[in-house]
Chains A and B, each alone.
Chain A
Amino acid sequence: MMKKSWWKILAIALLLYTFTAGFLIEVPIIGNLHQTIRNLFFHVPMWFGQMVLLLVSMVYAIRYLRSGNLADDIYAREYARTGIVFGILGLVTGAIWANYTWGEPWSNDPKQIAVAIALLIYLAYFVLRNSMPDMDKRARVSSVYNIFAYFIYVPLIMVLPRLVQSLHPGGQGVEGNPAMSGKDLDPTMRMVFWPAVIGWTLLGVWISTLSIRISKLKEKNWINA
């Protein structure tokens, strides 16, 4: 039992650490961020988590195309679903943060726009799935779309926002937030930030595995057939 669930325990431990240390440690006061900088431990890991979950979803889509096993399609679907949930949480935490630092929850920042489009891309994945009643066809066509979508998703959120002015760190001609990108991150904050990233990502995987188990039970007849 321990062997199988050590990572779940790790996820709980890391998140407990994130919530206690994240609220208690001394944070550097940078510019207009003040104490809101603590949101770094909650907002940014959502995006790391989303990228990992969607990557896993794409890997299972590839596996489905190679194997034709419907279980792989369920994995791809549920990981994409959790990815969408993480994206929504990331948008909401970001909007709250932006409300205090940029003055409004939505300021048409390139990164905000990019992640909103990314959400639409993956919501379209579910629309596509629901448009086909035939199971094998649905699995195959949506796997193809899933792979294609991921290859558009990565340049959309990684490359494009960096080409233009952005309030986020990492854009050109940063005016909003002071630099908080990887190398400038305060050492004490880094001690909480990376465990938070791992903790939230593991939680995402955990949620996905639970919904996969439910789906597998529901669709048992189809998978084994």
Chain B
Amino acid sequence: MPSAKKIIALFKKDLLLEIRQQYTFYGILLYIASTIFVLYLAMGRPEAGAWNGLFWVNLLFICINAVAKSFLQESRGRMLYYYSIAGALDFILAKLMYNLLLMLVMSLLSLLLFSFFLGTPFEKTINFLGITCLGGISISLVFTLLAAIAARANQNAALMAILGFPLIIPQLLLLVKISKSAFGEIFNTGALSQMILLLCGLDLMVVILSLILFPFLWKD
């Protein structure tokens, strides 16, 4: 059974490692900044449709870089150590929480930088902020399990992109569509809440599947 104490301990360990090493954080930050700067140089201030597309693709690439590290950095010996002190469920829950937090921060940061460099074509700022958070959460959850799979397959980081791109498309399409509401597009009554509900349902399903499936990846 998962215990809250162990989950928090593992979560804290990831957070502390991040704060001490600051390798991922600044690495990703530099990644975001340079990507957005290149986009700015190439496109100036794009119109709403292009802005929306660029934003979500940008988040996708950030997620692959940020979340991949969470499993790839764990060496074989260290995994064995975790195995002896905690259960599979503790471990995956801590990872899910940590990646969720990391991706939330990264999404908000890229939203900030996007607004600064590429302009703010969205009309409803609060709504778009909410959608960004939801998007960051959704993408991070899917990629946590995929990172675990890729880590098992010989620590192959390229594999994560191959596995992840097709699998993330349903969520990404939903997000692009939902975020159009913040750009002033009018939906049928109920269509928007239906899509948000569907996205949350998908997220819940991904979490449940991760909890069920991760124990099989865990034992070696």
Q: Which residues of A contact B (CB under 8 A)?
A: 65, 117-118, 120-121, 124, 127-128, 131-132, 137, 140-141, 143-145, 147-149, 151-152, 155-156, 159-160, 163-164
Contact = CB atoms under 8 A, between A and B. Distances in A.
Interface string B140-165: 00000100010011101001001101
B169 A143 contact: no
Central interface residue in B149, B153, B163, B191, by most chain A CB within 10 Å? B153
Contact of B216 (A65, A128, A159): A65
A121 B202 contact: no
A160 B152 contact: no
B163 A144 contact: no
A140 B153 CA distance: 10
Given A128-B163, A144-B149, A147-B209, A117 B216 contact: no
A117 B163 CA distance: 11
A121 B173 contact: no
Given A131-B159, A160-B174, A151 B217 contact: no
B57 to A, nearest CB: 16
B162 A127 contact: yes
Given A128-B149, A155-B202, A160-B174, A140 B216 contact: yes
State the 4 A-B residue pairs at the shortest beta-carbon distance, nearest first: A120-B166, A121-B166, A144-B213, A141-B152
A143 B216 contact: yes
A11 to B, nearest CB: 31
Contacts of B159: 127-128, 131
Contact of B173 (A140, A141, A151, A160): A160
Contacts of A132: 152-154
B167 interface: yes
Contacts of A148: 145, 149, 167, 209, 213
A163 B192 CA distance: 10
Contacts of B165: 120
Interface string B102-122: 000000000000000000000
Contacts of B220: 137
Contact of A128 (B153, B173, B174, B191): B153
B170 interface: yes
B174 A141 contact: no
B9 interface: no
Contacts of B209: 147-148, 151
Interface in B70-114: none
16 contacts: A131-B156, A132-B153, A132-B154, A137-B152, A140-B217, A141-B152, A144-B149, A144-B213, A147-B209, A148-B145, A148-B209, A149-B167, A152-B167, A159-B198, A163-B194, A164-B177
Contact of A145 (B163, B174, B195, B198): B163
A85 B202 CA distance: 27
Nearest to A122: B166
A145 B145 CA distance: 9
Given A131-B153, A160-B174, A164-B177, 5 more contacts: A124-B167, A127-B159, A149-B167, A152-B170, A160-B173
Contacts of A156: 169-170
A145 B149 contact: yes
B209 to A, nearest CB: 6
B205 interface: yes
A144 B169 contact: no
B92 to A, nearest CB: 12
Contacts of B202: 155
Given A131-B154, A141-B152, A145-B149, A117 B213 contact: no
B89 to A, nearest CB: 15
